[in-house]
Structure 1
C-alpha cells in the first residue's frame, strides 16, 4: 500500500512554449477550416469571404489579449473556470459564473469533440464511401481511440503534439503553394455583393460566415486550460496565444484565397470535400487521396488537443469543491485527471452518434458566448476597476479598447445567429442557474 505520508499526485510543469503553441494550433485547425471554407464562400458569395476570416482573426487577437492577461495572472488548470472564479469574487454571483462555465463545459466540450469526429468521418467518405451508420461507427470509434492515446503522462503528450503540429502546418502550406501556378487573381479578388439586396441581408450573411470562421479559430486559448502544466506560464501563455493566432490566420486566409483563385465560388460552396476536389484538379485523384489522408490526421490531432485541454476544466472545479469530487482524481502513476478525461470521452462518443456537423458548429459557438467569452471580457474590465494595482504579468495594450471591441463582435455574432440556437443557449444557461440555486439550497450536493 502507498505511504499515507507521501505527497499527493500533482500536475507537472513540463510543456514548453513550442509544445504549448503546437497544442494550440492543432486544436485550432482540426477538420474545421477544411469544411468551413465552403460554408463561408457560400455565405459571402465569393471573394468577400475574406472579410469573415479577417473579422474572425481580429476577434481571436482581441479576445486572445483577454485570455493572455488572465492566463498569465492565474496559470492554473481549468482556464475560464479559474478566471471567472477570481474575477467575480466570493459572493453568490461569483460562485454562479464559474458554476455555469463548468455546466456548459460538460455539454459543449463533448459536443466539440463530436464535431471533430463527425468531420473526420465525413471527409473519409472521399476515400471510402460510407453508409450513415458506418459514419457514426467511425466517429464514435475515433473518440475512443483519442481518449486511449491521451491516457498517459503529459511529457509524452507534449512530444506527440510537436509531431502533429508539423503535419498540420505543413499540410496547409502545401495546399496553398499547390494553387500558386494556376492562381486567377481576378477570380480570387472579385467581390460581387449584388446578391445581398439590403444591408440587413449582408450583415446577416457576414455574421453567419464569421460564426463559422470563429469556430475554425477556436482553440487559440487552449494553452490556458493547461496552465498548471506550462513552463514559465507568465511569458509563455501570451506568446503561445499570439503565435498561434498569427500563424493560423495567415494560413486560413491563404487557403481561402488559393481555393477562390482556382475554383469558382459556387463549386467551393457545393463541395463536401473541397480540399480534395481542389487537389484533384491541380494534380490527380491519387494525390487528392494523399491530401485527404493528411486532413484526416489533422482532424484526429485537433480532437486529441481539445480533449486534452477540456478534461482539465471539471478537474479544476472539483478540486475547489464546485463539482463532483471524483473529477478531482489524478491518475496515481501518470498524474493526469483520468476520471474527467474518461467522462468527456463517453459523452463525446454519445454526441458523435447523435449530432450533425453544421448544427454542432453553431451550437458550440453560440452557447459559449454569454457566460465564457462575454463573462471573461466584462470580468476583466471589472477587475481593472476594482483592483487597479493587482499583479498583471501581461497587460493588454490600449485597455479597455480591445475588450470593448471584443464584446461588440461577440454580441454581433450572437445576435445574428439562428434564433433556435439563441434559445438553446439561453435554455442551457437557465437550467444551469436553476441547478446552482438548488445546490445552494442543499437540494443538490457535489460532496
Structure 2
C-alpha cells in the first residue's frame, strides 16, 4: 500500500530524557491523592499490598511494551502494534478502535491530574470556591497547551527540569516521613486484614490493583513517542524498565513512610486534611506549616509535570493513525514551523478540560469520590482495546512476522503476557462490584460498540474493509532495521 506521508518526526529524545518523561508521567499527583483511596480500598495499612500488586502488573505489562516498542518504534504506540498485528483478519478495525478509545481515556487520565492539582491547591487556598477551582484547572491546561506549542528538543529540556522538581518533592516527603516514623502505625494491621476466603478481600484487592496500576500508568509514554526517540531499539525498553523499577521503590517508600506518620483512619475522614492533601499533612506534622506549604508548591509543580508529559505523549497517538488514513486526516498535519501534531494537541487539551469539569461536578459520595470513579472508568475502558489486545499482539506478531527485527525480546515469554492478562482481567471483572452503581463494565462495552459503529460508517465512506479490499501493509517488516538495532537484552 503506497502512502503519501508527511515529513517524519525528528528523533531527538535520548535515554535520560525518555526515562524522565516516563517517570514524570508516572509519579505526578497520583500517589499523593490516591494513598487515602488505597487505604480505603483495603481498610487499613495493608494497603501496601495494592502498590506491590500494581508494580508487578506494571512490570510484566512493561515488558510487552518494551518488545513491541523496540520492534515498531512509531508514533502512536498501541495503535502501531494493533495495526501491524490484526490487519490480516480485521483490516483497520483494531487500530481504529484503539485511537477512538485513546482519544477519550488519555485526556481523562490527564484530567485526574488536574483535579489532583486543584485538590492540593486547596491546602494553600482553603477557602477556594468550586468556581475558582474550575478556573484554575482550565488555566493549567491552557498553560500546558502553550508550553507544548514548540519544538520537541525544547520540550525535552523543560521535561528534565520538571522531572527534577518531581524527584525533589517526593524525596522531601519521604525524608520527612522517616524522620518521624512510627513502625507500629505502618506495620500494625487490623485483625483479619487478609482473608483470602472472603469475597470482600478480593473486591478490595481489585480496587487496590486498579488504583495501583493507575498510579504506575505512564511507563509507556515514550512508546507513544517512538518516532521521536533516538536509537529506539535500546532506549525504549530501557526507559520503560528503568522508570518502573525506580518508581516502584519511590512508591513503596512513600506509602510506608506516610503510614508511619499519619494515622490511617485520618485518611478516611473527609473533614481531615489527610484525606485531601496527605503529603501536606505529613510535612505539617513533622516540620511545621511553612515546610508543608513549600512542599505543597513542589507537589503542584509535580502534578503540572505529569499533565505536561501526558499530553505531550498523548497528542502523538492519533498522528500515525491519521497518516495511515485510519483516523481523521486532519490529525496527520504537523505544525509548519515547530513540526508537532497540531490537531492531536488541541483535541487532547479540550477533552482534558471537559474531563476535569466532569470530575468536579459529579460524584460527591464519600464512598465513591469523583477521582475513584474516573479511575475505575478509565482503567476499565483501557482493558479491552489496549491491554488485552496488546498482549495478544505480541503472540500474533511472533507468528505472523517471525522475521521482524526485535532488538528486545520479552524475558521468560510467554509468562509476562499470562501474568499481565490475569491482572487486567481481575481489574475488569471486579470493576462493577468494586464500584456499585457506576457500571464501568457496561460503560466500557458501550463505548467500544459505539466505536465499532463509527468504524463502519468511516470505512463505508473511505471504501475500505469491510466495504473494500483488505490491505496488508507490513511496514516494519519491510523497513531496514538500522535505526532500531541497538540491543536492549
**So what's the TM-score if we normalise by structure 2?**
0.87
1:370 corresponds in structure 2 to: 384
Q: Contact conserved, 2:150 with 2:338, CA < 8 A, in 1?
A: yes
User: Equivalent of 2:25, from 24, 27, 30?
Assistant: 27
Map 1:77-156 → 2, pairs under 5 A: 77-91=75-89, 93-128=90-125, 129-156=127-154
1:3 corresponds in structure 2 to: none
Map 1:48-63 → 2, pairs under 5 A: 48-63=46-61
Which deviates the most, 210-219 or 7-16? 7-16
Q: Distance in 2 between matches of 1:233 and 1:433?
A: 33
Q: Contact conserved, 1:175 with 1:279, CA < 8 A, in 2?
A: yes
Q: Distance in 2 between matches of 1:444 and 1:178?
A: 62
2:456 corresponds in structure 1 to: 437
How far has the Cα of 1:310 moved from its partner?
0.5
Count, aligned residues:
438
How far has the Cα of 1:444 moved from its partner?
9.4
How far has the Cα of 1:205 moved from its partner?
0.2
1:422 corresponds in structure 2 to: 441
Q: Are 1:411 and 2:425 counterparts?
A: yes
Q: Contact conserved, 1:101 with 1:372, CA < 8 A, in 2?
A: yes
Q: Contact conserved, 1:45 with 1:193, CA < 8 A, in 2?
A: no
Q: Deviations over 1:92-123 (max 9, x none)?
A: x2411111100001111221221111111111
Which deviates the most, 359-368 or 232-241? 359-368
**So what's the TM-score if we normalise by structure 1?**
0.95
Q: Distance in 2 between matches of 1:135 and 1:229?
A: 35
Which deviates the most, 190-199 or 216-225? 190-199
Q: Contact conserved, 2:19 with 2:240, CA < 8 A, in 1?
A: yes
Q: Deviations over 1:260-305 (max 9, x none)?
A: 1112111133311111111100011111111111110011000000
How far has the Cα of 1:183 moved from its partner?
1.3
1:250 corresponds in structure 2 to: 249
For structure 1, the 5+ residue unaligned runs are 1-6
Q: Deviations over 1:341-389 (max 9, x none)?
A: 1121122222222223222222221110111011000121222233334
Q: Contact conserved, 2:172 with 2:295, CA < 8 A, in 1?
A: no
Map 1:391-402 → 2, pairs under 5 A: 391-402=405-416
How far has the Cα of 1:209 moved from its partner?
1.1
Q: Contact conserved, 2:108 with 2:356, CA < 8 A, in 1?
A: yes
Q: Secondary structure at the match of 2:407?
A: coil
Q: Deviations over 1:244-271 (max 9, x none)?
A: 0011111111100001111211113331
1:383 corresponds in structure 2 to: 397
RMSD: 1.7
Q: Distance in 2 between matches of 1:326 and 1:394?
A: 34
Q: Contact conserved, 1:127 with 1:289, CA < 8 A, in 2?
A: yes
